Structure 1
């Protein structure tokens, strides 16, 4: 049976006050917003009562799902909002088959990791952020950090004695991203913060990292003992990708595409 599609009726009558209050009390905002038009359409088209109920509940589910995605995008703290829609696969040195396989997000379901390394401006952060946005659209949770912001988060937690709770909260995310490792010096605190997250997430959650240095060289950025333990866990179940080529940002700048033309 084809489900009827609600069509807004002209000047659909408002809900009775008592029904409106009940829906508010039951916290059904999307059902309440849709109800006047759905009821008017149902009367005009003589819908089955069960279908009216189904459509109204579906409106609430759709609204709640959209609200959840908005909240998760905000909580993830993405840097730019770049998605797969803005990603240009033909401009990337990442093999097309690899891009397509990662975009399925099946690796996140298997708690596998992703390490993308390569020169600055070759699309590492853009691609990983695009995957992270896709993960939220797929009803997954994402936490986004740079190594600097992760270090700050763990350092504050150490100061107030909430390290374990903070690490647990971060690891509720299905995908944890640590972006731009190697762009700034990483000392003992950064190495410890990174290790804590990688260790807690090991074989339980997915971690994606981007860096201008291959993970095997992280011991040049941070204390060797912590770097070795971290990389061992990070790479055990990881997809390793190396980007190549010139900086896309520099190419756009040199061709005048990085700014709007002055008039």
Structure 2
């Protein structure tokens, strides 16, 4: 004999109001928003009860996915909101097959690194951020830093000797992006933070680095011993992409495309 389903107490008032109350109790906000529109439609079209349940649960799942996406994007700390939607893949000097391969994010799943280096204005930061945005949309966690952000992190946590714990929290992200290396000499704290991050992430998490210098030249901007140890770990499992050409920003400026024309 089939075990009966636990008896549910009948409603003592308005079923819709009680249903809405239950969604609040069970923390189902997205289902609640769909409820008032869906039930009249389901009645009018004589939906199967199982279909009603399926659609309501699908609404809740989709709403939670979108909320999680917004949370991951906010936590990533992206600077400009640039994505592949506004990326001109034909104008980039990065070979199209390389772009396509990196967009799959399989290298992140394999905990490999990416170094994008080349002259200023050739799309390094845009490409790195677009990859980060794609990773967030794929359900991954991402963290974005400049190298001087790492210096500030070192200074903040050195006082109470919590730097190791800070780095451990940082490498929980699936992808960590460090932008704009090589524009200026690196402060001692930033050089230490960069090394500590690369060391902590080594063979555990993926790093993506954008730089005006090839990593082999990092000893020009940070102590040679520290640069050697950092680059050794960074490049061991890394894809190195070199950008070329004139600055996109300068080209737009000189052709009048950087501003709205004056009337």
Q: TM-score with structure 2 length normalisation?
A: 0.92
SS of residue in 1 equivalent to 2:114: strand
CA distance in 2, matches of 1:67, 1:23: 17
How big is each residue's C-alpha offset from its partner over 1:75-110, in whole Å with a ceiling of 9 and x where there is no partner? 111111010010000100000000000001111000
1:8-87 aligned within 5 A: 16-87=16-87
Q: In the aligned structure 1, how far is the partner of 2:155 from the partner of 2:176?
A: 18
Aligned to 1:261: 261
In structure 2, the partner of 1:233 is 233
Paired with 2:41 and 2:246, the residues of 1 have a C-alpha distance of: 57
Q: 2:155 corresponds to which residue? A: 155
Secondary structure at the counterpart of residue 179 of structure 2: strand
Q: Against the structure 1 CA distance between its residues 15 and 107, is the aligned structure 2 distance closer, same or farther, given a 3 Å change threshold? A: farther
Per-residue deviation at 1:29?
0.4
Contact 1:15/1:36, CA 8 A, preserved across alignment: no
Matching residue of 1:130: 130
* Shift >3 Å, 4+ stretches: none
**Residue 90 of structure 2 aligns to a residue in which SS?**
helix
Q: Distance between the aligned counterparts of 1:197 and 1:25, measured in 2? A: 42
Deviation for aligned residue 1:26: 1.0
Describe the superposition over 1:153-176 as per-residue Cα deviations: whole angstroms up to 9, x where unpaired.
Answer: 222112233212211111111100
Whether the 8 Å CA contact 2:151–2:187 is kept in 1: the answer is no
CA shift for structure 1 position 15: 6.8
- Tell me, in whole angstroms, the C-alpha distance in 1 between the residues paired with 2:172 and 2:52: 37
CA distance in 1, matches of 2:41, 2:204: 48
**Structure 1 spans left out of the alignment, 5+ residues:** 1-13
Distance 2:40 2:150 in 1: 52
**Aligned residue in 2 for 1:94:** 94
Where 2:84 maps in the other structure, the secondary structure is coil
Q: How big is the shift at 1:188?
A: 2.0
Separation in structure 2 between the aligned mates of residue 73 and residue 15 of structure 1, nearest angstrom: 38
Provide, for residues 167-190 of structure 1, a one-character-per-residue CA deviation record: whole Å limited to 9, x for no partner.
111111110000000112113211
Structure 2 distance, partners of 1:153, 1:45, is 59
- Bigger-Rg structure (1/2): 2
- SS of the equivalent of 2:222 reads coil
Cα distance in 1, alignment partners of residues 40 and 169 from structure 2: 45
Hey, what does 1:9 align to over in structure 2?
Answer: none
Aligned to 2:3: none
Provide the residue aligned with 1:222 in structure 2.
Answer: 222
> What 5-or-longer segments of structure 2 have no aligned partner?
1-13
Secondary structure of residue in 2 paired with 1:91: coil
Say how many residue pairs are matched.
250
- Are 1:142 and 1:173, in contact at CA under 8 Å, matched by a contact in 2? yes
Task: Name the SS for the 1:107 alignment partner.
Answer: helix
CA–CA separation in structure 2 for the residues paired with 1:15 and 1:127: 52
Does the 8 Å contact 2:119/2:243 carry over to 1? Answer: yes
CA distance in 2, matches of 1:201, 1:102: 19
Are 2:148 and 2:187, in contact at CA under 8 Å, matched by a contact in 1? no
**How much is the aligned-residue C-alpha RMSD, in angstroms?**
1.2
